[in-house]
Amino acid sequence: MNKVQSHSLLTDFDIDLFKAGKHFRLYEKLGAHIIEVEGVKGVYFAVWAPSARSVSVVGDFNYWIQGDHQLQVRWDSSGIWEGFIPGLEKGTTYKYKIQSNNNDIITEKADPFALYCEHPPHTASVIWDLEYKWKDKSWMDNRKDKNGLDKPYSVYEVHLGSWKRNAEGKFLTYLEFAEDLVNYVKETGFTHVEFMPIMEFPYDPSWGYQLVGYFAPTSRFGKPQDFMFLVDKLHQAGIGVILDWVPSHFPDDAHGLGFFDGSNLFEHPDRRKGYHPDWKSLVFNYGRNEVRSFLISNAIFWLQHYHADGLRVDAVASMLYLDYSREEGEWEPNIFGGRENLDTISFLKDFNEAVYSNFEGVQTIAEESTSFSMVSRPTFVGGLGFGMKWMMGWMHDTLQYFQKEPIYRKYHQNDLTFSMTYAFSENFMLPLSHDEVVYGKKSIAGRMPGDEWQKFANLRLLYGYMFTHPGTKLLFMGAEFGQSSEWNFEGSLDWHLLQYDFHDGIKKVITDLNALYKTYPALHEKQFSPEGFEWINYSDFQNAVMSYIRKGNDPKDDLVVVCNFTPVIRENYRIGIPKKGKLTQVFNSDETIYGGSGKTFTKSIKIEADPCDGRDFSAALVLPPLSVTVFKIS
């Protein structure tokens, strides 16, 4: 006798939306929901498995026996199986045992909508709820003033498993991060934290980018409410939260989404579109409406129930191009003969429209490494609709330049100046991310040439240049204090390095640059507009010096930035200034408190009526070695 009662949370309208790819809150209907039916408490289950012959809920409550708790398929051809099991409680583990119409294949799957999962390597779903009393109302009510495109946006990218570990080398908990990480980010002045994927994943070396529990924070660090507490504490400290989101691919683990009901349900059935050769993973079928509903519901879920302030979408380029990482003959052109995945383009537009229409003050950010146009332009003008896009070209060219010995830099100044030819074609974020400190690339500090003093001077110069370049900023954990070794996901950052002056100096530089970025409107008000930037001189390659002006809404806020990319002190170096007055130094990366040489000069410098750089006025400066200096015009 089946012990499942007939019950449904789904309406006909829900089904219509689901089939149309427009149901963006599926998590309210599918999955496991603790409810009460006619005075009896229990759990309602609903799962999409259109190719199933039968679906049973199995778990520790029925000794994992198939058939005792069999769900009923709906009459409306939606492929959804559902039912109410009385007496089940929060904390019960379960899976779906699915017998397929496809040669009677039997799969045992975790719930795609599970709110909580067992700690890997265990793979069952756990009945849970989302009850939590948030205390971040002030942040949520005002976050549009903190999260806008004209606001300072400095992101600290974090991998929770390796940011810090306890004395026994074990993971910290979400609750411990809510103390240690929150205090640290607040101290260093970052405006946002970006978490590498915290959704449940089975394999640590994937860093979280191969997901099986799209609606569940990983149990490695605690319970779902513990992660809510961490987000809550960040918000109370005035820090925004960005989550890495991975709609690009998923693993073929037996308990995951792959071949879910004995058919290619979530993945594209054509292996040329449904398999990723680089990561040996499966690719979502973006043209299937039900899959679109699943993915966009997942994005909305994290914004709604975990108060995320943004989603950074991973590997967008791999989604956009049919020939991505494929040889000739391994892909098929679209109906127009092109290489663009038209289903992906449509899906990403729908995703961004759903996010921005449902939430005020959030941002979506694309990790997109190609020249695909209008990624961060609104959909109503033909764009994909993202708020920002990673500026991968800037990252590549800048690191390539800084790796060179200063004596050779005069031959490569165009590596730096080139970014300004396309800097405003998108709303760019400048990333120095986790991808740049693995697989033999060295740490950011380890790339810098010269002796120890020059290495750290170059690093301070790099960060000064980054924070004064147009665009928002992202820095991977450890880079803010000059981590010497490559990132190791299996251990902790090398926090002991902060006892050394040079490393402590890097941390002070980052702290002060974050303060500079937030304090001076010229660095953020027009960070995505050509009106916010003006070259003074980009052609002095012989001295490897660049100078430029950053501008805000008020001309009185203009800042002058001068970068000296060699260890040679430039005495009496004259630059053109657009108006009379004086220059007041507001930042100098060569200060002794940072580990610099202390080659300073009078804080206030008179602007003279001496034409230079095509301007009627100019000022004579002393440029410290390997330095960025920033001045306010007054």
Catalytic residues: 314, 367
Residues near 624 by beta carbon (within 8 Å), at least 6 away in sequence: 564, 569, 588, 589, 590, 596, 597, 599, 600
Residue 479 tokens, joined: 């880079």
Nearest to 177 by CA among 164, 192, 194: 164
Residues near 454 by beta carbon (within 8 Å), at least 6 away in sequence: 406, 448, 567, 626
Distance of CA 395 to the CA centre of its chain: 16
Residues near 289 by beta carbon (within 8 Å), at least 6 away in sequence: 18, 19, 20, 21, 22
Residues near 3 by beta carbon (within 8 Å), at least 6 away in sequence: 68, 69, 85, 86
Query: Widest CA span of the chain, in angstroms?
Result: 96
What angle (nearest 5°) sits at the alpha carbon of residue 625, between those of residues 621 and 630? 50
Residue type, position 354, single letter: A
Given a contact cutoff of 8 angstroms between Cβ atoms, the answer to whether 311 and 354 are in contact is no
Q: How far is CA 631 from CA 274, 526, 576, in A?
A: 53, 18, 13
Q: Give one word for 587, left, alpha or beta, with left for phi > 0 and alpha for psi -120 to 50.
A: beta
3-state secondary structure at position 42: strand
Q: How far apart are CA 298 and CA 605, in angstroms?
A: 55
Q: Give one word for 384, left, alpha or beta, with left for phi > 0 and alpha for psi -120 to 50.
A: alpha
Residue 618, φ and ψ in degrees, nearest 5: -160, 170
Given a contact cutoff of 8 angstroms between Cβ atoms, the answer to whether 413 and 404 are in contact is no
In a 10 Å sphere around its CB, with 0-12 CB exposed, 13-18 middle and 19+ buried, how is residue 555 labelled?
exposed
Residues near 416 by beta carbon (within 8 Å), at least 6 away in sequence: 397, 398, 401, 465, 546
In a 10 Å sphere around its CB, with 0-12 CB exposed, 13-18 middle and 19+ buried, how is residue 336 labelled?
exposed
Q: How far apart are CA 383 and CA 320, in angstroms?
A: 13
Long-range contacts of 114-117 (CB under 8 A, 24+ apart): 114/31, 114/32, 114/200, 114/213, 114/215, 114/216, 115/31, 115/32, 115/215, 115/216, 115/224, 116/216, 116/217, 116/219, 116/223, 116/224, 117/200, 117/212, 117/213, 117/216, 117/218, 117/219
Q: How far apart are CA 159 and CA 163, in angstroms?
A: 6
3-state secondary structure at position 343: helix
Q: How far is CA 339 from CA 277, 344, 351, 495, in A?
A: 17, 12, 21, 46
Q: Which helix (H) or strand (E) holds 502?
A: helix 501-519
Residue with tokens 């829900």: 14
Given a contact cutoff of 8 angstroms between Cβ atoms, the answer to whether 521 and 557 are in contact is yes
